[in-house]
Chains A and B, each alone.
Chain A
Amino acid sequence: EDKVVQSPLSLVVHEGDTVTLNCSYEVTNFRSLLWYKQEKKAPTFLFMLTSSGIEKKSGRLSSILDKKELFSILNITATQTGDSAVYLCAVQETSGSRLTFGEGTQLTVNP
């Protein structure tokens, strides 16, 4: 059974801090790992990673995948209150039809 574990489950920081969110996985037929941000409603797509060691960046957010150790990290630098959300990690298997999600990390950024 495919499994995705995120840590920490919740995190409270102050504006300007840097945070690192973790995602480890066990998937039989791995194709890609995805990060989503969920503020109140629908998850919104952040990154998809398929290859080890290649960092994806978008502004203050970046992510990297380690396929040998089966984990990914999501970094957010210079956090802002607008970064407060649940961050979801999901793995996609080779058929591309199924996503297995972790529980999510609730990030709260205080002013």
Chain B
Amino acid sequence: NAGVTQTPKFQVLKTGQSMTLQCAQDMNHEYMSWYRQDPGMGLRLIHYSVGAGITDQGEVPNGYNVSRSTTEDFPLRLLSAAPSQTSVYFCASKRGQLTYGYTFGSGTRLTVV
């Protein structure tokens, strides 16, 4: 198993550009989430999904879109990048409601200039 795979690992965007951060897992996990990590603020939940076709907003959803067309993939779209979106983004997954904590991907470091 590859676990949770995130691409790209690093990205620099100009303000106003759009892009998609990719996340894929091969563990047949139903639950998937996107977090951002900023210095001194821990990880904050952006969007999450409890199964294919089901998504919901987390704590900081503005400026981001998600979709979940398959169990394996959960891409995060930045619609119009802003410097405030400079952060490290983590995708995470787990099997289901009753399983323990999420497994995290290795992260994408995004810089918006």
The interface of chain A, by Cβ under 8 A from chain B, is: 4, 32, 34, 36, 41-45, 48, 88, 90, 92, 95-104
Bound CA span A43–B35, Å: 12
Q: Which residues of B contact A4 (CB under 8 A)?
A: 42
Q: How large is the interface on B (under 10, 10 to 19, 20 to 34, 35 or more residues)?
A: 20 to 34
Give the most central of A34, A43, A48: most B CB within 10 Å: A43
Q: Are A97 and B50 in contact (CB under 8 A)?
A: yes
The interface of chain B, by Cβ under 8 A from chain A, is: 4, 31, 33, 35, 40-45, 48, 50, 56, 58-59, 90, 94, 96-107
Known: A41-B107, A88-B42, A88-B43. A99 touches B97 (CB 8 A): no
Q: Are A96 and B97 in contact (CB under 8 A)?
A: yes
Bound CA span A99–B59, Å: 10
Bound CA span A99–B100, Å: 11
Q: Are A45 and B100 in contact (CB under 8 A)?
A: yes
Q: Which residues of B contact A104 (CB under 8 A)?
A: 42
Q: Which residues of A contact B101 (CB under 8 A)?
A: 34, 36, 45, 48, 90, 92, 99
Q: Which residues of B contact A98 (CB under 8 A)?
A: 33, 45, 48, 58
Q: Which residues of B contact A97 (CB under 8 A)?
A: 31, 33, 48, 50, 56, 97
